[in-house]
Amino acid sequence: MSTYQEDIKALEGVIGGNEFWNEIRPEAAARMRQQNKFKTGLDIARYTADIMRADMAEFDKDKTKYTQSLGCWHDFVGQQKLISIKKHFGSTKRKYLYLSGWMVAALRSEFGPLPDQSMHEKTSVASLVNELYTFLRQADARELGGLFRELDAAREAGDEAKAKEIQDKVDNYETHIVPIIADIDAGFGNAEATYLMAKQMIEAGACCLQIENQVADEKQCGHQDGKVTVPHADFLAKIRAVRYAFIELGVDNGIIVARTDSLGAGLTKQIAVTNQPGDLGDHYNSFLDGDVIDGADDLANGDVIVKANGKLLRPKRLASGLFRFKPGTGEDRVVLDCITSLQNGADLLWIETEKPHVGQIASMVNRVREVVPDAKLVYNNSPSFNWTLSFRQQVFDDWAASGIEVSGYQRDKLMSEDYDDSELAIEADRRIQSFQADAAREAGIFHHLITLPTYHTAALSTDNLAKEYFGEAGMLGYVAGVQRKEIRQGIACVKHQNMAGSDMGDDHKEYFSGDAALKAGGADNTMNQFG
């Protein structure tokens, strides 16, 4: 017996046991249960954590089984992404959602658009997690509602084979609910604040939280200058705070992504506490830039000194009070950050780089794996990179190093359309196309994401529509540029009433009012124009 039939049978007993529930239909109630599998955000977090853990284990065995996501700044956008994935690929397996703090700040702040500096409201990410899952649950309800209507039609037609086929689809239904990796930025304050915010995100449904080692009150976008990191002890306290939040809420297998911005960070907020030579604090301080001095006579008023390697070091301090790191130490600091995070409770790593270069990422990951063999990365395939220029320059440099003739190309002008059909550009595009597979295989990248794609697609599509609709094309700009494409590409949202839940509303009217139901889905509904 199917789960659906089991629900009906169980509800027959529940409903039949109350003499005043005679108008309550067991099958209708069973359908509503099927359409609402997840009752709370914690149900979602536990379910998706299991999925993500299974995917991580599969990746450890087979590096072709990497995962992917797109950053979505709006509930509807996230919903449409998952609907499209199911339509085009038949399954959501290894397809996640990423929730970027950058997009929350830029697009969802009550203050208006903000830079990515931990300035948006502390509850806004959790609110978006909740909204996304509300829309994904609605996508389930909508799709299952369509199957139930098809089942009724097959029964009315006496088509038992068709009815069985649809029943099988119901019984084997794949939900739109997928893991969300939620950006908790630098933790917004101290470890206690991080813990409280993490709880909100987990309660909303997030099974995976990403936290970075920048200073909360000095945080910058990962692809901008001026990044400031914290000593490991400060960062580890926040990782532990997030883990406690997961455990408290019963999501014991929740996932923590530890991000390091050390590659691009030349500053630290403070000097680390150290108790003995060679400990973690001492190691952190060894990267400080400064001058070796002989004694107090070499000090100016307010100078700070550190004892390192048996010598007195006067770290270079800015007017802001921040301390400089030695130039060229970024990769070494990244490796130390990664090993330390994994050895202290993090599950995955995020190394923020300045360019998408497989060799660069692999060189750091391989060093980490010498200590933690199963280290895995989440990586930002960032729109902040100029992918075309970066990869064309990589090909140029590789060819020049191997003796291939490159005199016909100007390295600093490779973005030009003049090169679009060249052998170099074709090779660069091939490498971009295979970047995810190559980086997963060679650099241990388990999850590939793009932080801001829907930010850019919204801008691009709106620009195209505005140019046409307000220009000479007029209404044809919308019809040819949007609606006609929706119809021919089979985009479900062309029936926007249905997408918003009109048909589900009709179903519920029938459940609640029977023959007295006033339905919207009659012959005069304009949705019928779309098939």
Helix (H) or strand (E) holding 258: strand 255-260
d(CA 345, CA 336) in angstroms, rounded, equals: 15
pLDDT, average across residues 48-59: 98
The end-to-end CA distance of the chain, in Å, is 34
Distance of CA 227 to the CA centre of its chain: 22
Distance of CA 481 to the CA centre of its chain: 29
Q: Give the pLDDT score at 261.
A: 93
Tell whether the model's pLDDT for residue 367 goes beyond 60: yes
| Residues with active-site annotation | 221
pLDDT, average across residues 166-175: 95
Domain coordinates in residue numbering, the chain: 41-156+169-269+327-458, 478-531
pLDDT, average across residues 26-44: 95
Q: How confident is the model at residue 199 (pLDDT cuts 50, 70, 90)?
A: very high
Q: Give the pLDDT score at 500.
A: 87
Tell whether the model's pLDDT for residue 506 goes beyond 90: no
d(CA 335, CA 375) in angstroms, rounded, equals: 11
The string of pLDDT tens digits covering residues 101-146 is 888 888 888 888 877 767 777 889 999 999 999 999 999 999 999 9
Tell whether the model's pLDDT for residue 225 goes beyond 70: no
Cα–Cα distances (Å) from 264 to 162, 226, 380, 465, in that order, read 59, 9, 15, 38
Tell whether the model's pLDDT for residue 224 goes beyond 60: no
pLDDT, average across residues 88-93: 96
313 exposure class (CB count in 10 Å sphere: 0-12, 13-18, 19+): buried
Pull the structure tokens for residue 451. 């932080």
Q: Give the pLDDT score at 477.
A: 94
The string of pLDDT tens digits covering residues 442-457 is 999 999 999 989 999 9
pLDDT, average across residues 320-329: 93
pLDDT, average across residues 348-363: 96
Q: Give the pLDDT score at 103.
A: 84
Sheet holding 323-324, edge to edge: 228-229, 267-268, 323-324
Tell whether the model's pLDDT for residue 2 goes beyond 80: no
Q: Which of 122, 134, 169 is nearest to 150 (CA)?
A: 169
Q: What amino acid is encoded at 217 in this protein? A: D
Q: How confident is the model at residue 217 (pLDDT cuts 50, 70, 90)?
A: low
Q: How confident is the model at residue 221 (pLDDT cuts 50, 70, 90)?
A: low
Q: How confident is the model at residue 28 (pLDDT cuts 50, 70, 90)?
A: very high
Q: Residue 292's beta-bridge partner residues?
A: 313
Within 13 A of 363's CA, how many CA atoms are on the CB side?
A: 9
Helix axes 191-204, 124-156, angle to 10 degrees: 10
Q: Give the pLDDT score at 282.
A: 92
Q: Give the pLDDT score at 419.
A: 97
Q: Give the pLDDT score at 226.
A: 66
Do residues 97 and 78 make contact, with C-beta atoms less than 8 angstroms apart? yes
d(CA 12, CA 27) in angstroms, rounded, equals: 8
The string of pLDDT tens digits covering residues 76-85 is 999 999 999 9
- Mean pLDDT is lowest, of 154-158, 488-492, 520-524, for 520-524
d(CA 227, CA 352) in angstroms, rounded, equals: 11
Q: What rounded mean pLDDT belongs to the chain?
A: 92
The string of pLDDT tens digits covering residues 379-409 is 999 988 999 999 999 999 999 999 999 999 9
Q: Give the pLDDT score at 528.
A: 75
Q: Which of 68, 201, 183 is nearest to 133 (CA)?
A: 201
**What does DSSP say about strands 323-324 and 311-315: parallel, antiparallel, or unpaired?**
unpaired
Tell whether the model's pLDDT for residue 515 goes beyond 90: no
d(CA 123, CA 256) in angstroms, rounded, equals: 19
Q: Which residue has the higher pLDDT, 301 or 239?
A: 239
Do residues 187 and 215 make contact, with C-beta atoms less than 8 angstroms apart? no
Q: Give the pLDDT score at 115.
A: 72
Tell the CATH topology of 41-156+169-269+327-458: TIM Barrel (3.20.20)
Angle (CA) 197 53 252, round 5°: 50
Q: How confident is the model at residue 215 (pLDDT cuts 50, 70, 90)?
A: confident
Phi, psi of 326 (to 5 degrees): -60, 140
Q: Give the pLDDT score at 219.
A: 59
Do residues 352 and 261 make contact, with C-beta atoms less than 8 angstroms apart? yes
CA dihedral over 51, 56, 59, 60, signed as positive or negative: negative
